[in-house]
Structure 1
Amino acid sequence: MTKVDFKKDRKDLYAPPRNAFSLVKVPAMTFLMVDGQGDPNTAPAYREAVEALYAVSYGVKFASKRMLDRDYVVAPLEGLWSARDWSAFTRRAKDEWHWTMMIRQPDWITDAMIEAALEAAQAKRRTSALSLLRHETFEEGRCVQILHVGSYDDEAPVLARLHDEFLPQHGLSPTGRHHEIYLSDPRKTAPAKLRTILRQPVL
């Protein structure tokens, strides 16, 4: 059985250069998503959202392997971030952040499979985040992205360069929410070695 790995199959989406911004066209993809607000380091809603996403994602993966004989690597956690005032990111005012945490799903996963995995997860744990979870298609189109290696709190200078220098110099305007893809597990990786894709939809 061949195991699908999005990161290996679409390196244009998951392996951008580290030291330079690059343009990429991001196609429509399906995700499990949960919305919330608050500091990702301290807000219980954030922790519960991530736990719910992984619980259902792994349930769907095992169902796909068992029922369809199709296996795959669970995709990395991703986040869409916004705030009423953009400076909330450069100021690291995390309580002001709005987020949508999400995990990509293969195209062959059906709503029925999602629902079954969701019901199984609800039977094992009580968390309001499971009731907020949705299965949705998301398309960003043209984006600028870069690989950031280091602490999440060290992203601010990179984002400032993106918005204050790269986008104006190339006649681009941001549209849509700031997007991050977490390639490292922060529980097992030193902050200085965390690998995160920073992505911004543009016009």
Structure 2
Amino acid sequence: MTAKTDFKKTLDSYSARAGHFRVLDVPELRYLMIDGHGDPNTPAFAEAVRALYPVAYKLKFAAKRELGRDHVVMPLEGLWWSGDMDAFTTARDKSRWDWTLMIMVPDWTGQDMFAAAVAQAGAKNAPARLEDVRLAPLSEGRCVQTLHVGPFDEEGPVLERMHREFIPSQGLRLGGRHHEIYLSDLRRTAPARLRTILRQPVVEDGGRA
């Protein structure tokens, strides 16, 4: 039987504790990605999610069949940014948010395998935004992260402490896009029990992003 790898358990970058900010170096990883803009509580956001998962599962099945490698499909993730980062902390103005939704895939996933998975996912009842999905690497490097437990709308104070207190105290400054990793099944988990890794790439204060 093919051993199944759970990268949430083998990669240190998927480890975080509530109430604890941690500085870590995140390796370059490969993701399925799709872009969007605006409030995540909209049909456009849901369409983006629906485009990612069929490709992720087709890749899983192809790797098991063709390479003898199996893995747990990784959780949904998102990069979030805005012209004014206060839109995430104090104002929480979701209409101003830009985002890239992602699912991490193993490094054995090549462009040919990806193209075949997209074709298979579109063979029947193709998701509306399937053609917008891409496979690309992301290299974040030095980051600060923590675990938030609770509703997404209660992230603001945690991010405020991360951005305004912890990161400057380490001689660092913001150096990339806010990153969230949704460890909970959003369809089955009560808001108070949602577990989300909050990650912020950083650079040395006085350096260049």
TM category, shorter: over 0.9
Answer yes or no: is the 8 Å Cα contact 1:28–1:140 preserved in 2: yes
Partner of 1:9: 10
Q: Which residue is equivalent to 2:94? A: 94
* Alignment match, 1:151: 151
* SS class of match (1:124): coil
Quote the Cα distance in structure 1 between the aligned partners of 2:19 and 2:195. Answer: 13
Question: Could you tell me whether the CA contact under 8 Å between 2:51 and 2:128 is conserved in 1?
Answer: no
For 1:62 and 1:126, the matched residues in 2 are separated by 18
Which residue is equivalent to 1:58? 57
Distance in 1 (CA, whole Å) between partners of 2:117 and 2:125 is: 12
Could you tell me which residue of structure 2 aligns to residue 139 of structure 1?
139
Which residue is equivalent to 1:20? 20
Provide structure 1 residue ranges, at least 5 long, that are not aligned to the other structure. Answer: none
Query: Please, what TM-score do these two structures have when normalized by structure 1?
Result: 0.96
With the length of structure 2 as denominator, give the TM-score of the two structures: 0.93
Give the residue type in structure 2 aligned to 1:55. P
> Could you tell me how far apart the structure 1 residues matched to 2:137 and 2:170 are?
29
> In structure 1, what residue type is equivalent to 2:72?
V
Give the 3-state SS of the residue equivalent to 1:13 in structure 2.
helix
User: Residue 53 of structure 1 contacts residue 102 of structure 1 at CA under 8 Å; is this kept in 2?
Assistant: yes
Matches within 5 A, 1:88-127: 88-90=87-89, 91-127=91-127
Quote the sequence identity (%): 56
* Cα deviation, residue 110, structure 1: 1.6
Which shows bigger deviation, 88-97 or 135-144? 88-97
Would the aligned equivalents of 2:145 and 2:199 in 1 still touch at CA under 8 Å?
yes
Tell me the C-alpha RMSD between the 2 structures.
Answer: 1.0
Q: Which residue of 1 aligns with 2:70?
A: 71
Q: Which sections of structure 2, spanning at least 5 residues, go unmatched?
A: 204-209
Q: Structure 1: how far apart are the matches of 2:202 and 2:83? A: 19
Q: Find the counterpart in structure 1 of residue 80 from structure 2.
A: 81
The Cα of 1:125 is off from its aligned counterpart by 2.6
- For residues 21-73 of structure 1, the C-alpha deviation after alignment (integer angstroms, 9 at most, x for no partner) is 0011000111010011011112x221111111101000110111111111100
Partner of 1:130: 130
